[in-house]
Amino acid sequence: MSTVPLPLLEAAEDPRTRPPLVLGDNDFASVTDKVCGIVERPRPPIAWYIAFAISSALTALLVAMLGYLFLAGIGVWGLNIPVGWGFDITNFVFWVGIGHAGTLISAILFLFRQKWRTGINRFAEAMTIFAVICAGMFPAIHTGRPWFDYWLFPYPNQMQVWPNFRSPLIWDVFAVSTYFTVSLMFWYTGMIPDLATLRDRATTRLRRIVYGVLSLGWRGSGRHWHRYERVYLLLAALATPLVLSVHSVVSFDFAVSQLPGWHSTIFPPYFVAGAIFSGFAMVLTLLIPVRSFFHLEELITTRHLENMAKITLATGLIVAYSYGIEFFMAWYSGNPYEKFTLANRALGPYAWAFWIVLFCNVVVPQALWFKRPRTTPWMLVGISILINVGMWFERFVIIVTSLSRDFIPSSWGYYKPTWVELCTLAGSFGLFLTLFLLFLRFGPMIAMAEIKSVMPAAGLERGPHRGHGQYWGEIPHQHERRQEEGQP
């Protein structure tokens, strides 16, 4: 009985009809060898050690800043009477947005049967998990007394301290925790066949035990594939609404208030588009250097990069349109407070941040209309970094400029971050990169089982697999031949 799943045979297309998603003379075994070889090699590239040393130092800085914050209180931040939210909530909204690209690539493109996602989905899913971990840290510490954060959860207690479910802070807790849980399950479920491959190729007892436990007894039988595909489809359907709901809930932190500049019904779709915009930019920022350092150009092709650049351009246009709508509605409403708030952003004391936002998020992405920037890796990295800078400053402008000058001029103030906040921001990037680098070293960064499903049908007929194979895609005569030759 063949162990080739039906979707694999259906997805095998004539390579002459569409540009290939896997370049070079690759078959199933060579794909397995390339991806597993990154994990199995004795030492990663020297660039990995340099990056890990820097990220670890920044993570240690984050731990030190959090310890200092817990001992001294949030008075070490630059918050004042009008500006009660600063870098803390800015970083929270930024990191939650970064995590949206992974779910979009994995779940929504999977449901729409977009096969080009297979080379980059694992990478984006991992980025989602680590970004949400960084995001969840900031609402916990900005309360001032994080050791009482368990009050936010509806647990049975004799003191009758129940959460206020009308508070946006509670909405954030439920939205982000749900998003993290479903994304983690989706990411881990997709890795099970690849973890089984690493288990079967393991040369040490420790690796066999670790990957054996993580692969949950996967054997690659027809029953396993049937259940795997069913669960994967259900998790994709669960994750898809979260792309819209999570950042919409985050935008409600601002939209439900009466503060000019926040009280806007455009915020939910505006925030979702901005989240996908910044998320795809972060995927490109990380993916292109990794693609180069590990020589994965044949598996992550220019077609993958160009498709992501097109989505980045599309969401960037939505963000630019939202900026224009904000100013139009402030003028059309006739509300003097709304007019002043928008004028203050462009001409007030934080005008420098506003114009950085317009340059990075509106002007820079227009380069992606042209094919050369979409297909030139170094240009894509530069554009993506500028987009991420612009999206961070966008959250800063929305939060700080609206608070610093509200209804009464006598209560106006100027917010300036302290060195503690700047170090905490740098440390959050260190934590994100440390987790990401560890995943690159010990986990399958590319979904081998999925990328084989988009390879040409000729891959089924190529000569005997080299080295250790993988259950996905083996056909009976190849499996029997390998057994006769004494190969595992």
Whether the CB-CB separation of 198 and 207 falls below 8 Å is answered with yes
Closest CA to 31 of 476, 467, 487: 467
Q: Is 1 inside a domain boundary?
A: no
Structural domain includes residue 31? yes
Q: Which residue has the tokens 């007019």?
A: 339
Residue 431 identity (one-letter amino acid): L
In a domain, 252, yes or no: yes
Q: How far apart are CA 12 and CA 7, in angstroms?
A: 9
Tally of structural domains, the chain: 1
Residue 386 falls inside a structural domain: yes
Other Cβ atoms less than 10 A from the Cβ of 409: the count is 7
pLDDT tens for the chain, residues 1 to 488:
334 443 433 444 444 556 677 877 777 888 888 888 888 888 888 888 999 999 999 999 999 999 999 999 888 998 888 888 889 999 999 999 898 878 888 888 888 888 888 888 888 889 999 999 999 889 888 888 888 888 777 777 777 777 777 888 888 888 888 889 999 999 999 899 999 999 988 888 898 999 999 998 888 888 898 999 999 999 999 888 888 888 888 888 888 888 888 888 888 889 999 998 998 999 999 999 988 888 888 888 888 899 999 999 999 999 999 999 988 988 888 888 888 988 889 898 999 999 999 999 999 999 999 999 999 999 999 999 999 999 999 999 999 998 988 888 888 888 999 999 999 999 999 999 999 999 998 988 888 888 888 776 434 444 333 333 333 333 333 443 444 444 44
Residue 78 CB-density burial (10 A; 0-12 exposed, 13-18 middle, 19+ buried): middle
Q: Answer yes or no: are the C-beta atoms of 59 and 432 closer than 8 Å.
A: no
Q: Is residue 360 part of a domain?
A: yes
Question: Among candidates 226, 197, 253, which has minimal Cα distance to 33?
Answer: 197
State whether the Cα torsion 178-180-185-187 is positive or negative: positive
Residue 442 lies in domain: 6-484
In a domain, 74, yes or no: yes
CATH of the domain at 356: 1.20.1630.10
Query: What whole-number distance in Å separates Cα of residue 485 and Cα of residue 158?
Result: 69
Please check whether residue 475 is in contact with residue 460, taking contact to mean a CB–CB distance below 8 angstroms. yes
